Amino acid sequence: MAKPNYFYGIHAIDALLEHRPLDALSLFVQQGRESDSHVAAIMASAQDNGVSIQPTQKDKLTQLCGSPQHQGVVLHARPLAFADEAVLDTVIAQESCLLLVLDQITDAHNFGACLRTAVAMGVDAVVCPKHHAASLTPTVAKVSVGAAEMMPIISVTNLARMLTQIKSAGVFVFGTALDETAKPIHEADMTGKTALIMGSEGGGMRRLTLESCDELVYIPMSGNAHGNLQSLNVSVATGMALYEINRQRTT
């Protein structure tokens, strides 16, 4: 059995109790916060699902989850598992599916922020490599404000092979990169079956990932940036790129 973790934050715990309540083991609630409407709702959900509730001191909650940002609730639960690679077949069968591919994003805060934006912008699934990538930790769950529970997050052994697979199913693969062949993202047609690849925080996409792209795009910027994608945090760049895709699909 996988080692349980301590999830924290109102939105992350609320999403966990909604989407996988059987993985919840014990809820720890800060003494004096029981009357807070958000906390009370979580307690009611936990009670409905047979999860034990334990009043706890604030400092103890911080100790349990390793963060003071717990908002008065910590949930002892089994970890969130990555979706099986076979889920991809169902996703790419959808008309105008949208995949977000994160190539070696290792920072938990960036990963969580990307997941949060992905849900908001209608991404059908997120794909990341099995190695050299952030795990689905409680920190990721907290930063994503529960988004990690709301869509498939697929871990693949061979990213280049996966890209070949989805391309054969009609998915057009866009990579974000600073390259003389790249075009401004708003000039690319992203209304069909689309996969958007975001490279790592430091080095961008790996060579094999880059070579698997059908087209390269960049985010135009004004001032002194001169289109320098690297001047943006990867989660910010992801949000901007996904917003453009969403704009194209809704206008």
Q: Is there a contact between 177 and 210 (Cβ–Cβ < 8 Å)?
A: yes
Q: Are residues 70 and 188 in the same domain?
A: no
pLDDT digits (tens, 9 = 90+) for 31-55: 999 999 999 999 999 999 999 999 9
pLDDT digits (tens, 9 = 90+) for 94-127: 999 999 999 989 999 999 999 999 999 999 999 9
Between β-strands 194-198 and 98-102, what pairing exists: parallel, antiparallel or unpaired?
parallel
Q: Are residues 128 and 27 in the same domain?
A: no
**82 lies in some domain:** no
What is the predicted pLDDT for the residue at 132? 86
What is the predicted pLDDT for the residue at 180? 78
Q: Is there a contact between 229 and 220 (Cβ–Cβ < 8 Å)?
A: no
What is the predicted pLDDT for the residue at 181? 85
Report the domain count for the chain: 2
pLDDT digits (tens, 9 = 90+) for 144-182: 999 999 999 999 999 999 999 999 999 999 999 877 788
pLDDT digits (tens, 9 = 90+) for 58-82: 999 999 999 999 999 999 999 999 9
Q: Are residues 59 and 104 in the same domain?
A: no
Residue 73's identity, in one-letter code, is V
Query: Which range of residues forms the domain containing residue 151?
Result: 87-250
Q: With CA atoms as reference, report the closest residue to 92 among 120, 125, 130.
A: 125
Look at residue 226 and tell me whether its pLDDT is greater than 80. no
Phi, psi angle pair for 43, to nearest 5°: -60, -40
Look at residue 4 and tell me whether its pLDDT is greater than 80. no
Q: With CA atoms as reference, report the closest residue to 177 among 219, 208, 212.
A: 219
Q: Are residues 67 and 94 in the same domain?
A: no
Half-sphere exposure of residue 249, counting CA atoms within 13 Å on the CB side?
18
Q: Are residues 148 and 212 in the same domain?
A: yes
Half-sphere exposure of residue 95, counting CA atoms within 13 Å on the CB side?
1
Q: Are residues 157 and 204 in the same domain?
A: yes
**113 lies in some domain:** yes
Q: Are residues 65 and 120 in the same domain?
A: no
Q: Are residues 69 and 151 in the same domain?
A: no
Residue 124's identity, in one-letter code, is D
Rounded distance between C-alpha atoms, residue 102 and residue 81, angstroms:
17
**16 lies in some domain:** yes
Residue 26's domain is classified under what CATH number? 3.30.1330.30
Last residue of a domain, one of 44, 77, 110: 77
Order of strands across the sheet with 125-129? 153-156, 125-129, 98-102, 194-198, 172-176, 215-218, 183-184
